[in-house]
Amino acid sequence: MSEENLTKLSDLGEFGLIYELTKDIKPKNDSTIKGIGDDAAVLHYPESKNILVSKDLLIEGVHFDMTFMPLKHLGYKSAIVNFSDMAAMNGKPKQMVVGIAVSSRYTVEALSEIYAGMKKACEIYGVDFVGGDTTSSTHGLHISVTVIGEVEKGKEVYRSGAKPNDLICVSGDLGGAYMGLLILEREKRAFQADPNVQPQLEGNDYILQRQLKPEARTDIVDALSKADILPTSMIDISDGLASEIIHICESSKTGCVVYEEKLPIDQLTFDIAKSFQIVPAIAALNGGEDYELLFTISQSDFEKIKAVEGVEIIGYITEESAGQRLITNDNQSIDIEAQGWDALKKKRNNVDKK
């Protein structure tokens, strides 16, 4: 579409814009009594449920980069990161409320694209879009997403429940989203140096998708329930495995042992990490935004977890005094740190050079 055909926000005004963005939204869940269109949404949850609430605030230039984040993906991802928080409590997202503050350089078409991504996420995950607020900003785009969800009473899983000897499990694979980001940043630099250069993205679909269009692992919540496993603790991996396992250990007052060789790393992630001279385990431990689930289970659930597809046991919980340890492939025990894996990096780079 040419620039002239795009609609300025001022052409529609606030009410026109809200209408344009929300006219096709219809709530579906029993717990939604009233969605968009009044002063507040009305919800009703049965006695058997507890209600989960989570919010994320995304600022242009801080949390996302307009030069390589397609608008529809941005909308999708801003919903997914909150759905992932519901999964991390062992629950399901049910309603969503969105606040947007936007500068006049955005068009109605651009906002509609963002909304298309949010609506798609809602459709796929069975979430009702029940309200929001719209205002102007002096700089860029701010998106605030609040998600309301449900969990069966007594089935909510906290970060604080891990016990010594529990098994540490992780879903899916790790480090891919970070490798996707590195590829996008590389192409952005190439583009800034020469705007005529075509982006080199072929062959990297999987990791680009991990970065641009992550999914929330509500399917793992279902699989665990079906396998009759209630995790003892759980968290979603938004900042990297190392930082999340430290959160679980600190909340639970425990230590842990994680094995480098057990870290689930996809082959493409492995190869791209090598091409950037990053030790793949570092990408898996410190790369963020994978939105996989990290959880602990009782030893007695060992047989049951083997039946759950796409879950890897990567270590076990220890007494707090034992600290948080990583056992490397060459059998060294090192401290897990949220960032700055200098010791491992140096050692492994030397090994790789040999």
Which residues sit at the interface with ligand ADP, rule CB under 6 A? 18, 21-22, 36-39, 98, 100, 131-134
Q: Rounded to whole angstroms, how far apart are CA atoms 59 and 214? A: 18
Q: Which does 293 bind (CB under 5 to 8 A by kind): Mg ion, ligand ADP, none?
A: none
145 binds, among Mg ion, ligand ADP, none (CB under 5 to 8 A by kind): none
Of positions 14, 109, 123, 133, contacts Mg ion by CB under 5 A: 133
Of 89, 70, 83, 91, nearest in space to 129 by CA: 83
CB of 165 to ligand ADP, least distance (A): 47
Question: 343: which 2 tokens?
Answer: 């010791």
Kindly tell me which of 144 and 298 has the beta carbon lying closer to ligand ADP.
Answer: 144
Cα gap 107→11, rounded to integer Å? 10
User: What's the longest Cα–Cα distance across the chain?
Assistant: 67
Pick 131 or 176: Cβ nearer ligand ADP: 131
Give the shortest CB-14-to-Mg ion separation in angstroms. 8
Rounded to whole angstroms, how far apart are CA atoms 78 and 132? 14
Q: Which does 98 bind (CB under 5 to 8 A by kind): Mg ion, ligand ADP, none?
A: ligand ADP
- Beta carbons within 10 angstroms of residue 315's beta carbon: 24
CB 140 within 8 A of CB 258: no
**Quick check: helix, strand or coil at residue 342?**
helix
Selected range binding Mg ion among 128-136, 166-174, 198-206, 248-256, rule: CB under 5 A: 128-136
Beta carbon of residue 271, minimum distance to ligand ADP (angstroms, whole number): 41
86 vs 98, which CB is nearer to Mg ion? Answer: 98
Q: Using CA atoms, how far apart are residues 27 and 21, in angstroms rounded to an integer? A: 15
Least distance from ligand ADP to the Cβ atom of residue 125, Å? 17
Least distance (Å) between residue 131 CB and Mg ion: 9
As given in the structure block, the two tokens for residue 281 are 């385990």
Measured from the CB atom, the residue of 1 and 40 that comes closer to Mg ion is: 40
